[in-house]
Every structure is written in structure tokens, then in C-alpha cells.
Amino acid sequence: MLEDEKLKWQFKCGSPQALARIYEKYVDTLLTLAMGLLNNTAEAEDVVQDVFVSFAKSANGFTLRGNLKAYLSTAVVNRVRDRIRRQRHRPGTREAKAPAASEARGPEEQLVFSEYAGRLSEALDQLPREQRETIVLRLKANMKFKDIARLQGTSVNTALGRYRYGLQKLRSSINGEVEYDI
């Protein structure tokens, strides 16, 4: 946190090294977040690049009293939402999903991992946007529920409920259980 405060101050003063350090520190986290929301590597990279370009342009008027990671994560989520809204108006623009990278060692482990990752990705895609967003923000961006609630414009209890119900649906989907709406 102390490093972030120093980086924010240096960035506001126009330091290109501060911007480079902020990028290095958060690019992987933001790419993971964008990928979790979009399920498309190229689009995720575009979103993160757009966020950092906008961030770099904001140096002169930059004021942030809160958490830098949460600020950048919020910017990514908002860009993702904008992309999803635009895609709704253009049918057939969604690209094929990129397979998730594996840290598994052998070919058998990689096969099992990629099959599981594919099922998880498909299950995430089936969730309502709000639940998927809550789960990804919590698990991939490590955001607190109060920050997720503020970002989504809901109460903390609503964010917690979306998280809980989303996880239940993921478990059911991945385990092959049938879910009945009564």
C-alpha cells in the first residue's frame, strides 16, 4: 500500500517510471480479471490496454484517495460492460474462446485441466452477468464485497447473495447436476 501511495504521487507528477511500475504491478491481475469476464484473450488484452491508455492520459488531473488496484479493476469492469453492451447490438461478433493456460506438468494433467477449465468457462458463461461479475471480481481481482457492491450499485448483502448463488450454480453445472427452477 505504501508503494501504491508513492506511485500515485509520482504518476501525478508525470513520472513515466511510475506509470511503468503501475503497469508491471497490475497488468497480470487486470488481464486475469478481463479474461474472466470476457472469456476472450484478445478482447481482454484490448480492454486492459484501453484502461492503461486512459489512465496514462489522466496524469495531469489524477486524484485518487483509495486503492489503486480497486480503481484499475473498476476501470476494467466498466470497459468490459461497455464492450458487452456494444456486442449485444452487433450479432455474431463474439470470437471463439481461447483455452486457459495450464501449469500442469504432463500431457494427461494438461488434458484434464483443459477439459475442466473449458467446463468452468462454459458454466461461467451461463451465469447471469451480475453473478459472473461478482464471482470474477471476488476470486480473480480479490476485491472486497463492499467494493463489489459499490461498483455494482447494490448493497453488500446483494453482492454476497450473487456470489453465493453464482457459486451454487457453478457447482451444479460442473458436477452435472440438473437445476430445477420452482
| CATH assignment of 108-182, among 3.40.50.300, 1.10.3720.10, 3.30.450.20, 1.10.10.10 | 1.10.10.10
The chain-wide mean pLDDT, for the chain, equals 82
What mean pLDDT do residues 42-58 have?
Answer: 92
Which pTM does this prediction carry? 0.69
Mean pLDDT, residues 163-173 = 90
Kindly report, as residue ranges, where domains of CATH 1.10.1740.10 are found in the chain.
Answer: 1-97
Q: For the residues of the chain, what is the DSSP string, one character each?
A: -HHHHHHHHHHHTT-HHHHHHHHHHHHHHHHHHHHHHH--HHHHHHHHHHHHHHHHHTTTT----S-HHHHHHHHHHHHHHHHHHHHHTSTT-PPPPPPPP---SSHHHHHHHHHHHHHHHHHHHHS-HHHHHHHHHHHTS---HHHHHHHHTS-HHHHHHHHHHHHHHHHHHHTT------
pLDDT at 105: 59
85-129 pLDDT, tens per residue? 887 776 554 443 444 444 445 677 766 666 766 777 788 888 998
Instruction: State the pLDDT at residue 62.
Output: 81
Give start-end residues of each CATH 1.10.10.10 domain in the chain.
108-182
